[in-house]
Amino acid sequence: MTMPKRKVSTDGATPKKRTKPPLPQATAAPEPQPSESANGESRAVQGKPRSLVVVESPTKARTLKKFLTRRYDVFASMGHLKDLPRSQLGVDVKNGFTPKYIVVKGKGGILKELKEAAKQAPAVFMATDPDREGEAISWHLADALRPVNPEIKRIEFHEITKEAVRKALAHPREIDLNLVNAQQARRILDRLVGYKLSPLLWRKIRGGLSAGRVQSVAVRLVVEREREIESFVPQEFWSLLARLREDDQHIEARLYGKDGTRYGSPGEEDVTVLRTRDDVDAIVRDLDGVTYTVGEVRRKDQFRHPAPPFTTSTLQQEANRKLGYSAARTMNVAQQLYEGVDLGPEGTVGLITYMRTDSVRVSEGAQREAREYVTQTYGESYVPDSPRIYRSRREAQEAHEAIRPTAVRRAPDRVKPFLRSDQYKVYKLIWERFLASQMASAIMDTLSVDIHAGSFLFRATGSRVKFPGFLAVYREGTDANGEEKEGWLPELTTGDQLTLMELAPQQHFTQPPPRYTEASLVKALEERGIGRPSTYAPTIETIKRRGYVHSTSRRLQPTDLGVLVNDMLVEHFGDVIDYDFTATMEEELDQVEEGRLDWKKVVGDFYKPFEHDLVIAEKKIEEVKMPVVEIGEACPVCGRPLVRKHGRFGEFIACSGFPECKYTRPLGIGVPCPKCKVGEVVERRSRRGRTFFGCSTYPACTFTSWDKPTDKVCPRCGKNVLGIHQTARKTTLRCLDRTCGYTEPVTPEPAEEPVAR
């Protein structure tokens, strides 16, 4: 098997209002012309200098050049050119939390080139992303370039298309200092928490740890869920299934109630719970010899409405459920689709609108385009009478649109030849979700049948699609395992007599709440108002990278280190990682963005009690040593016990005699190497961060596998073991020898849904 391949003023003060020449009257931008220059170098058009458009990334710059090369130079700043220094706090706490911004290391050359280009330009257009972060980048750039060119304007567009860019150039605006201050407040708050708390963790636990205003709350959610699971006590309960027949038609009906009493599961209100097998057996005895007669037959249409188009959060959740992608991978692919993809003859085109948004608003033009496409492709019956309008959450930024394709007629299969596999899958998800959101509701034909057996009542239900509507394009994923099931019942009439084939008592146990997936953790953060669309993906990646949580079977589980750090922070910094407090901070940052709160007041109100807690914690917290767990094995070098230890990159096995003996090895999964039979299978990381499995004796044994090996031998070939193979939809066991091809299903974990306690 082959080895897997591995804004700102110079003194940092709040920007003061500058006296600048008035902006020229906004006029329609000149029609872009095709370029005659292949290298894209700056040159005059008919003797006139070219205006400068500044964006963050080279990909975005290349896409814009397709529209603007003849009349504009496009320059990529490569992200932030200025930021707080990494080597120090960079915030003057005693002087109104004044930030100290410096040119980011390695960006001096870029800034110099930008200044040279700006000198010759009649105007400079800041075209950074349409959010707080993009506004702050423009502010920093404007402050640096204004001495050489005061004609600096801000343009904003939410999709990289010719029409959107032309419209933005025709309507420039000033840099929005409220947006800048909101970003600056968040940056300073996060810096204060990170740079004040992290050193405390280094002193009290070990070096290399970090704390963060949002990441620590995310860890707390995972830790508290794990404790719920550990403390959960399952409750036994029973149900009764009747398998019935009418002629050659079979019906399954479940015991529903008796004489007005309803049977149910623990946690339901006003139900009787069958706790033991004896309870069910008593009912079975009472049913001996009774007649099963069809009572009321209820048939009705049930409407199912489409989900709204994606926000950042719902896109991350759905891509995790359907594609198995992490939040970070989803956002990385979405960024590529937004900034532009080369579609061959059509050129480089931005395929989706801006992917950091919490709004479900859709422009009238996009609605109209979707309705026309649906009418032509599926027929008029698939289009609702009026365009669907969805309501965003209260705090959503309604200036933004939902995530949607920039052109509905670019169907996924049409652009598939030009996209990588992951780009195609994410684009298809976005395209289908948006199109479905503007389609007619599905109509489900539902049937419910009451069956009387003496004094007992059984009930059978069925449903089927009567009119597919939006389901012809898209079905929303769920956190529960398995596919959505639909079934129908035979035609039954009140008074029909049914023949009993079998009464089947069924034992159940209440299930603990499931561990978070990345999708459900993003959902929990959003529902609690913690973080914003741009923070979810980096937050989850940070807590995984720091070793506070790890992913097992796509579920997030806290490590011993994560539990230790969380408990310390909860005890001594309850406010910092309190759910409501963190959500309130987000609301205050929104108010700063709206110009209703002063950013320095927000930071000051947070910092005063935080500083007080820091002083007390420094005195009260004693140095904590991570628990050392012996694994029951002797060190092969010196014979002393081997122990599990926590390092910067997670857990590993080491000799308890360190530093005299420096023997270490990766943490094994408890399965012998299927190739050499000598080493143990260990979990490793590829250069791209993907988990794979290899032999602990590498390089002596070169066994590797993407699937997690088990000790179960393949029943077909008898030579290899089975590995756990996971996809977005299911988990299977399959032979590690691909030529064998044997697979078998794995018993699914409890569904991600509310359960009885």
Same domain, 541 and 594: yes
Same domain, 226 and 281: no
Same domain, 381 and 277: no
- Greatest C-alpha distance within the chain: 101
Domain region containing 418? 312-437
pLDDT digits (tens, 9 = 90+) for 343-355: 998 889 999 999 9
Same domain, 144 and 60: yes
Say what percent of the chain tops pLDDT 90. Answer: 65
Same domain, 331 and 430: yes
Which positions ≥6 away from 73 have C-beta within 8 Å?
42, 50, 51, 52, 53, 117, 121
- pLDDT of 314 over the 90 cut: yes
Would you say residue 31 lies in a domain?
no
* pLDDT-based confidence at residue 428 (cuts at 50, 70, 90): very high
The answer to whether the CB of 56 falls within 8 A of the CB of 134 is: yes
Same domain, 206 and 134: no
Distance CA 97, CA 14 (A): 10
Identify whether 699 is preceded by a cis peptide bond (ω within 30 of 0): yes
Would you say residue 577 lies in a domain?
yes
Residue 400 confidence (pLDDT): 81
What's phi and psi for 332, nearest 5 deg? -65, -45
Would you say residue 129 lies in a domain?
yes
409 compared with 723, residue with greater pLDDT: 409
* pLDDT-based confidence at residue 754 (cuts at 50, 70, 90): very low
* pLDDT-based confidence at residue 7 (cuts at 50, 70, 90): very low
Alpha-carbon torsion angle 254, 260, 264, 268, nearest 10: 150
Q: Specify the CATH number for the domain of residue 521.
A: 1.10.460.10
pLDDT digits (tens, 9 = 90+) for 560-610: 889 999 999 999 998 889 999 999 999 999 999 999 999 999 999 999 999
Alpha carbons within 13 A on the beta-carbon side of 206:
12
Q: Strand 731-735 to strand 629-634: parallel, antiparallel, or no bridges (unpaired)?
A: unpaired
Distance CA 231, CA 236 (A): 16
Say what percent of the chain tops pLDDT 70. Answer: 88
Would you say residue 427 lies in a domain?
yes
Amino acid type, 292: Y
Same domain, 289 and 372: no
Same domain, 126 and 207: no
Nearest CA-CA partner of 735 in 719, 751, 747, 746: 719
Which positions ≥6 away from 649 have C-beta within 8 Å?
547, 685
Domain count, the chain: 4
CA angle 419/425/429 to nearest 5° reads 125
For all residues of the chain together, what is the average pLDDT?
86
Neighbours of 501 (CB within 10 A): 13
Distance CA 238, CA 259 (A): 19
Which positions ≥6 away from 131 have C-beta within 8 Å?
179, 354, 356, 534
Which residues are identified as catalytic?
A: 354
Distance CA 613, CA 624 (A): 19
Would you say residue 222 lies in a domain?
yes
Amino acid type, 262: R
Residue 283 confidence (pLDDT): 96
Would you say residue 686 lies in a domain?
no
Same domain, 56 and 99: yes
Would you say residue 578 lies in a domain?
yes
Which positions ≥6 away from 733 have C-beta within 8 Å?
710, 712, 722, 723, 724, 725, 743, 744, 745, 746
Would you say residue 388 lies in a domain?
yes
What is the radius of gyration, based on Cα positions, of the chain? 31
- pLDDT of 474 over the 50 cut: yes
The answer to whether the CB of 711 falls within 8 A of the CB of 671 is: yes
- Residue burial 448-459, b: 16+ Cβ < 10 Å; e: rest: ebbbebeebbbe
The answer to whether the CB of 187 falls within 8 A of the CB of 137 is: no
Using the 3D structure, point to which of 437, 452, 471 is the last residue of a domain.
437
Residue keyed to tokens 């009774």: 290
Same domain, 189 and 266: no
Q: Specify the CATH number for the domain of residue 400.
A: 1.10.290.10
Residue 525 confidence (pLDDT): 95
CA-CA-CA-CA torsion sign (485, 491, 495, 499): negative
Residue 394 confidence (pLDDT): 62
**1-7 mean pLDDT:** 40
Using the 3D structure, point to which of 604, 620, 636 is the last residue of a domain.
620
* Residue 704, H or E segment: strand 704-705
pLDDT digits (tens, 9 = 90+) for 667-685: 777 788 888 887 888 877 7
Q: Strand 72-76 to strand 98-99: parallel, antiparallel, or no bridges (unpaired)?
A: unpaired
- Residue burial 733-746, b: 16+ Cβ < 10 Å; e: rest: bbbbbeebeeeeeb
Q: Specify the CATH number for the domain of residue 107.
A: 3.40.50.140
Same domain, 469 and 412: no
pLDDT digits (tens, 9 = 90+) for 684-739: 777 665 778 888 778 888 899 988 888 788 888 887 888 888 765 567 888 988 88
DSSP string, 80-115: -SEE--SSS--EEGGGTTEE--EEPTT-HHHHHHHH
Per-residue tokens: 299: 């048939």
What is the pTM assigned to this prediction?
0.80
Residue 746 confidence (pLDDT): 67
Distance CA 587, CA 200 (A): 28
pLDDT digits (tens, 9 = 90+) for 48-69: 789 999 999 999 999 999 888 6
Residue 695 confidence (pLDDT): 87
Alpha carbons within 13 A on the beta-carbon side of 731:
15
Distance CA 9, CA 143 (A): 6
Using the 3D structure, point to which of 388, 406, 437 is the last residue of a domain.
437
Q: Specify the CATH number for the domain of residue 267.
A: 2.70.20.10
pLDDT-wise least confident of 215-219, 306-310, 342-346, 547-551: 547-551
- pLDDT of 33 over the 50 cut: no
Residue 628 confidence (pLDDT): 74
Same domain, 226 and 266: no
Nearest CA-CA partner of 724 in 740, 739, 713, 735: 735
Nearest CA-CA partner of 89 in 192, 187, 240: 192
Distance CA 713, CA 719 (A): 7
Distance CA 224, CA 204 (A): 22
DSSP reduced 3-state for 707: coil
**133-149 mean pLDDT:** 96
The β-bridge partners of 705 are 693
